[in-house]
Amino acid sequence: MITEKKKMIAGEAYFANDKTLSEDRLLAQTLCFRFNQLEPRQVKAKKQVIRDLFGKTEKMFYIEPPFRCDYGYNIEIGENFYANYNLTVLDCAPVRIGDNVMIAPNVSLFTAGHPIHHELRNTGLEYAIPITIGDNVWIGGNTVINPGVTIGENTVIGSGSVVTKDIPANVVAVGNPCRILRTITEEDKHYYYRELKIR
């Protein structure tokens, strides 16, 4: 028998009000609540909660509370991962994040979607499409990444972007919808954040 959970992870239409999925979300909410209530000095305890929550972690990572997710077990983070305040991950499908990824405050990763037509939407059917973020990516504050998006390695996503389509490696991309602004080149090594123009 194909369960709603298997359908969800496989990218098929599923019913989120399924008993197993409801219990899974409650467990994730409990762990997120525990993580968000720990004192700032309790770094080891916070890391352990994330290890218990996520599907995969590496040795070095840090997430600033508050943090929220749907299930947790569909999230994989690479080595040297950092997320600032208010990261939200709707991980109904897998969310795979590479090494050396930096995420600014108020970023949302949404794998979940709903039918466009209201009659189907009102039945409670949902779907989810994975999100993949490559190595060395920096995602600016208040960015939304939509279902099915892949962001290539070394890329920078500017603040306030809404990423609706794949973004290739080695570019700066920004906007709503997010578009490629330019390629990152060796010249970027000469500047800390931008070229200073002195008049």
Catalytic residues: 114
Does position 135 have pLDDT exceeding 70, yes or no?
A: yes
Integer Cα distance of 146 and 165 in angstroms: 8
Task: Give me the pLDDT at residue 69, please.
Answer: 98
Task: Give me the pLDDT at residue 198, please.
Answer: 44
Integer Cα distance of 77 and 99 in angstroms: 7
Q: What is the pTM of this model?
A: 0.94
The residue whose two tokens read 């947790």 is 72
Domains observed in the chain: 4-190 (2.160.10.10)
State whether the Cα torsion 37-64-71-160 is positive or negative.
Answer: positive
